[in-house]
Structure 1
Amino acid sequence: MKHRGRHRRRRRGAALRAVLAGTALALTAAATVISASQAHVTGDPGALRPLSSPADTGPLRLQEHLVRARSLNRLSAAMGRPVGVAAVLKRTDRGMREGDDCSADDRASLPVAPAATRAYCWDPADAASTAWRPASVTASGDTDDGVRGRHRVVLTGWTHSTTGRPAERGLARVALVDADDPAHLTYRWVLLVVPVQGGRDYRGLTSGISGMVRHQNKLLVTTSTGSADALYVYDLDRIQRTTIDGPAIGRVRGGWSADGYRYVMPAVGSYRFTSGRCTASGPPCPGALALDRGTAPDSLVAAEWTPPGSDRTARLWRYAFSTDPARRGLLATDSAGRVDAVEAYRTRAAGIRGVLPYRQAGTDEPSWYVGHLPSSRDGHGSLWRQDSKGARAVHCGADASRRCWARAAGSLSYRRETGEVWSLSDRMLFSLPLAALDRSLE
């Protein structure tokens, strides 16, 4: 039976490659008929402009706010001993289908070029909903050996729209995906919450999480546009079980509820801009996050969200992670708990949904992959590689359209030990080699 299972996985893998290749050809053909008015919306964002003056870097300063250990311990004492990622993955209750088993519309959301080498669509129970949308991803390559406990893990962040049941509006959840077997991915939902009343209760995190990074045992996520909080911090070793299957979120008579979710993850801290809420002239609204393990120490990179097609310039910047063993996964701060950007740039790219720093062999200057939405917000976006000299994008179709990236693409995450870049469209989770991405821009 095991040999037959392996043969089936090989056939499925071969079929997936054939389907993805066919999809890429079909989408390339479709791209040839994209009108000139559509093609020009992804104009060249040009070279990155370094920012170094205090007037430019000052608005990027953060203030750290950690939840008191006493509050977290009080919540744990009331809910029961926290569990980690491995305990959740033992009880996954959703399955993902490989690309050849997904619908044509699912596959049409994948990049035109370069083509994905692995792709998965979500469980029908989640794919059928239009209220929840995926936007962020972080792969298990964000740990030293690529393995979290005994599992290779991919985490994706989803946000609920402002429509539908009032109890769900604006909530944020994370899919913990067990990627041990590439032919059989499974996952389970964890609802993100925030402790209140000194750990005697919790509320749902009502925020878009367009960016997400896992470093050490921490998960950092962006907060909604307009919030003074730039990031929320979660501890992957502090996942709590709920005891009541009901629509409420928080403490209820007889136990703990989370709108039907079996697990919740309470925030352990946040980072807030010292100069207030994000504005066009002040602090940026963080949109995409990524981890850069090519710096010393590791660093968190971020991209500013501006509307697609906007004339506003956006900022790209980075913060250093702490090297203090007592502050695993947290950003480096000064004695007053403040965090300053260690590098910053301006770009003319707008509608940025993904960012990933990259250093080509033999060069000291980093390049930045920047994925963004078209101004019309319809169809596929574009992916550029920018540095201080200029920008390059993948071209596809006879009219050299640059709308070659995934449809409504989310964030980017690099798994170093396999050389893969993970991302997601509005319908699928996918990966491709970084080398293929780099070659497509030559």
Structure 2
Amino acid sequence: MVDPTGVSAAATKLTAANFRLRATSYSSLIDDLDAALPNVSVPTVVADGNRAATPCAPAAANRVAAFCWNSGDNTVPYWIPQGITTSADAYDAGNYEGAVAILVSWYDDGSDGIDRGIRVSFVDWSTPSAPTYRHVLLVEPYTRSDGKVSYRPVNLHAGGIVWYGHLLYVASTHAGFRVFDLRHLWQVSSTDSAAIGLQSDGSYQAYGYKYVLPQAFSYARSTAGGYADLRFSFVGLDRTSAPDSIVVGEYAYPGTGTRLVRFPIDYTDRMLREDADGYVRGTEAYDVSVTSMQGATAINGKFYLSTSDGDTNRGDLATFRPGGAVTMHTDSLPIGPEDLSYWASRDQLWSATEYAGSRSVFAVRASAY
């Protein structure tokens, strides 16, 4: 545990290869829905923002950029923001087919009587002084009992996301990853805010959202060596490692589980890198004994962790290098910080906050830590 001075003992090294993932096959139903629905590009969705972000100044040390959602999204009680990634994760050049964007995941807690699953905000960041955005609903294709192909909501916490090439990885807390293919963004009828999927009139609905993004496949977690299952609470991309990798971590407060695991990712096909037996195995793993972790990434071998402290206290940023102590930069983040994403060319470490009434998206100068 971190002591009152902000410094703890070194993280405990774990046997990384004992943490495993295995991919399912790619969904054959996507082709059917491609034939039924118009396909649109990521730049089209990014440029089709229907909401304007607002300027704000969240209380973060070394803050270099920020915006807030419009008033409705800032206060809506049932949609809660969690994960963050950017077009600099997608490609090192910082844009995806010319679009410069920030993506933020939200989960629906169902408190208004409808559980819509997950939406992702596509934020146009090409003009940081005036960002616009549009929410896209994540969906899972399936075959109905009548044999017709439809889609349904994806009910996850979505605590962390990574955009890597054409794939969007979404952390699935008790399973591993759901993976969505950005080459198959579909425009739907979007007229019925209470309906989802194929309707009796032949239209496809998405709770009033104009675009949906389908799940293409998933990764299922497992462990060896007697290790408990890893909770996939959040995820961050590390483009400074060789090969590129993702860092997965656990939220725990109170309770067991404060582990971080690195998995390799392959830039040639955007998939996690498998061994000959079909498993993706961890290449680095630690128990950092830091509670309330909400996000993590690594930069040139140094790990960065965001931690929360309830809805009234500012969050902290923790850092450590393998073999060294974990240092807590107390109260350096706003209240309620979540996932982390690193924009290397801009020296920016991005995060988002979750609590209604004080939601923001912000970046701090990574090199300050």
Which of 208, 214, 219 in structure 2 is aligned with 1:260?
208
Q: Corresponding residue for 1:123?
A: 70
The residue correspondences of 1:225-244 to structure 2 (distance < 5 A) are: 225=173, 227=174, 229-244=175-190
CA contact (8 A) 2:308 2:338 kept: no
User: Which amino acid counterpart does residue 404 of structure 1 have in structure 2?
Assistant: S
Q: Corresponding residue for 2:316?
A: 382
Alpha-carbon distance, 1:349 to partner: 0.4
Q: How many residues align?
A: 356
Q: Corresponding residue for 2:220?
A: 272
Q: Distance in 2 between matches of 1:41 and 1:260?
A: 49
Task: Give the SS at the match of 1:189.
Answer: strand
Q: Relative to 1, partners in 2 of residues 1:337 and 1:373: Cα closer, same or farther, differing over 3 Å?
A: same
- Per-residue CA deviation, residues 237-276 of structure 1 (Å, 9 max, x unaligned), is 2111112411111111221000000000000110011359
Q: Corresponding residue for 2:42?
A: 85
Q: Relative to 1, partners in 2 of residues 1:265 and 1:250: Cα closer, same or farther, differing over 3 Å?
A: same
Q: Distance in 1 between matches of 2:151 and 2:314?
A: 39
Q: Relative to 1, partners in 2 of residues 1:346 and 1:290: Cα closer, same or farther, differing over 3 Å?
A: same
CA contact (8 A) 1:244 1:255 kept: no
Alpha-carbon distance, 1:392 to partner: 1.6
- Per-residue CA deviation, residues 108-130 of structure 1 (Å, 9 max, x unaligned), is x532xx23122211012211312
Task: Give the SS at the match of 2:113.
Answer: coil
Considering fraction of residues, name the structure with more helix.
1
Q: Corresponding residue for 1:64?
A: 23
Q: Corresponding residue for 1:432?
A: 364
Q: Distance in 1 between matches of 2:257 and 2:183?
A: 38
CA contact (8 A) 1:287 1:303 kept: yes
User: Which amino acid counterpart does residue 47 of structure 1 have in structure 2?
Assistant: A
- Per-residue CA deviation, residues 400-433 of structure 1 (Å, 9 max, x unaligned), is xx23322110111111121111111230011122
User: Which amino acid counterpart does residue 48 of structure 1 have in structure 2?
Assistant: A
CA contact (8 A) 1:354 1:411 kept: yes
Q: Relative to 1, partners in 2 of residues 1:281 and 1:338: Cα closer, same or farther, differing over 3 Å?
A: closer
Q: Corresponding residue for 2:100?
A: 152
1:133 equivalent to 2:90? Answer no
Query: For the aligned residues, what is the CA RMSD?
Result: 2.2
Q: Distance in 1 between matches of 2:227 and 2:264?
A: 24
Task: Give the SS at the match of 1:125.
Answer: helix
Q: Corresponding residue for 2:161?
A: 212
1:413 equivalent to 2:341? Answer yes
Alpha-carbon distance, 1:57 to partner: 3.9
Which of 314, 334, 337 in structure 1 is aligned with 2:275?
334
Question: Bigger radius of gyration, 1 or 2?
Answer: 1
CA contact (8 A) 2:190 2:207 kept: no
CA contact (8 A) 1:167 1:248 kept: no
Alpha-carbon distance, 1:377 to partner: 5.4
Q: Note the residue ranges of structure 1 that are not aligned, 5 or more in a row.
A: 1-38, 100-106, 360-365, 395-401
- Per-residue CA deviation, residues 190-225 of structure 1 (Å, 9 max, x unaligned), is 0011111188111100111111111111110111x4
Q: Distance in 2 between matches of 1:84 and 1:194?
A: 19
CA contact (8 A) 2:100 2:126 kept: yes
Q: Distance in 1 between matches of 2:72 and 2:211?
A: 18
- What is the percent sequence identity of the aligned residues? 26
